[in-house]
A and B are shown apart, each in its own frame.
Chain A
């Protein structure tokens, strides 16, 4: 007599990770099909944070778009404005004064450090290491304070303007920022000792989420994601904008085959390089104007608005009609903390953009979720979402 065996089960299980799961960094839902603990299929479901920023821009003057751009990748708010302002300036055919370019670089690189610290803290936290988050937020808080100094805003400084900056650096900023970047490499060692040789960290990250160089290009990866696989490409060096050619910095590349650990190493090194750039920019900070001297683009100084009728008219015209670039189409990309952030602006010659298309790095990277997760364990999915360094406001736009 044959024994009665339990019926074999071939069914897979569907599991929702998110939309409100602590490791999805916002409102990402990943529909995971599981065979036991192995992922058969992982399908990201986006759009929970879609605000229609591209559509909203079409009814605003170019300057009114700036607060919207802050809210794309909110961990690096000012970098989005950097790209947008550069795109509009390209459309206008102007270049901002050297001092403004340097200050923009300083703010953008400080923001990059803050963004990478946030990534490091949350990524490590997702994988069970609590401490980096606390150490990292110590430094991030200082960067937020520096942002607050220049504009009053911490997450969303809205400090950049088309044609320059809203105001010059406040008194004491240069000293405080210099003190921060000089001290930062010492603080950075704290993160490094906590994770780099940590056996648990390595077990969770080495060999997970491997992408080859060719695959990175196929899937449109840029920034630290691509450099982790050895793609030697950085827009700051290869297509320099805003005086990046004046600074001396290295492009860290992943030494391994392009796994989560390799991207971790790249981002860690990038923080130090950013600190190096900030230091050089602060030390070489040129004197001069902080916005272009063109009444069609820059607002007149406030004291003139109160005393001079022509300046008052100029002020009102600029606020109500905005800057009017010629008709045309431009694409401007910058190296944001998360990769290539691009702005494609179509102008019809009026004061409002006809179409703004934003190339968001987080959105592109998420495309490869299924490729990375397929055949891996469910626990690896958390490491994969962490390594992508996505911000859902950036994904959904």
Chain B
């Protein structure tokens, strides 16, 4: 069992919804409303030391509901291990708190997830398209977006 599981279950008993182990990777499915508090706790507790946010990935699990996944991949330089947190968001209006105030690097990752997947990060200082032109319509990484042009 990953060392972060007990730590989080003790402090946030309501917010850790599921623990998935696969090929040595541990993914914790957590409550999206608590993401900022969870990342802050993992960053600041010396026994955790997850000070480095590797990436934020958005996944479209269509046709499942809740449809969207927002995945946070963390690394601890002190203990040399990884931890993945995943939040599931509804298909209608996916909104989650921005974590730019916790990890500065989240800025570009969140803008990319907004740009390509249409996930809104509440509290982001500059949430606009990053890779696509500003007048682009639609979110191309969603499953309903065609691979080829019409």
Q: Which residues of A contact B (CB under 8 A)?
A: 46-47, 50, 52, 54-56, 58-59, 90-91, 93, 214, 217-220, 222, 231, 233, 238-239, 328-331, 333, 340, 342, 344, 346, 354-355, 357, 359, 363-364, 366-368, 396-397
Tell me if A364 and B77 are in contact (CB < 8 A): no
Contacts A56-B147, A218-B104, A220-B105; A359 near B55 (Cβ below 8 A): yes
Within the complex, what minimum Cβ distance (angstroms) separates B144 from chain A? 12
Supply 23 A–B pairs (Cβ within 8 Å), ascending by A: A50-B132, A52-B140, A90-B23, A217-B51, A217-B52, A217-B77, A218-B103, A222-B52, A329-B20, A329-B22, A330-B23, A331-B25, A331-B54, A344-B55, A344-B57, A354-B59, A355-B57, A357-B59, A357-B71, A359-B54, A367-B108, A368-B104, A397-B131
Contacts A55-B141, A55-B147, A344-B55; A231 near B73 (Cβ below 8 A): no
Contacts A47-B130, A219-B104, A238-B80; A355 near B140 (Cβ below 8 A): no
A38 to B132, CA, bound (A): 30
Contact of B132 among A47, A59, A354, A367 (CB under 8 A): A47
Q: Which residues of B contact A (CB under 8 A)?
A: 20, 22-25, 27, 51-55, 57-60, 71, 73, 77, 80, 82, 84, 103-105, 107-109, 112, 116, 129-133, 140-141, 145, 147
Within the complex, what minimum Cβ distance (angstroms) separates B69 from chain A? 8
The 5 A-B pairs with the shortest beta carbon distances in the complex, nearest first, are: A220-B105, A357-B57, A47-B131, A359-B55, A367-B108
A364 to B108, CA, bound (A): 7
Q: List, in ascending order, chain B residues with CB within 8 A of A330's CB.
A: 22-23, 25
Interface of B is mostly: mixed
Contact of A219 among B80, B105, B145 (CB under 8 A): B105
A46 to B141, CA, bound (A): 18
Q: List, in ascending order, chain B residues with CB within 8 A of A359's CB.
A: 54-55, 73
Return the chain B residue nearest A348 by Cβ: B61
Within the complex, what minimum Cβ distance (angstroms) separates B83 from chain A? 10
Q: List, in ascending order, chain B residues with CB within 8 A of A233's CB.
A: 77
A226 to B40, CA, bound (A): 22
Q: List, in ascending order, chain A residues with CB within 8 A of B112's CB.
A: 363
Tell me if A46 and B22 are in contact (CB < 8 A): no
Tell me if A367 and B54 are in contact (CB < 8 A): no
Contacts A217-B52, A231-B77, A328-B22; A46 near B130 (Cβ below 8 A): yes
Give 17 A-B pairs besides A56-B147, A328-B23, A331-B25 with Cβ atoms closer than 8 angstroms. A47-B133, A90-B24, A220-B103, A231-B77, A328-B22, A330-B25, A331-B73, A342-B55, A344-B57, A344-B73, A346-B59, A357-B57, A357-B59, A359-B54, A367-B107, A367-B108, A396-B131
Within the complex, what minimum Cβ distance (angstroms) separates B59 from chain A? 5
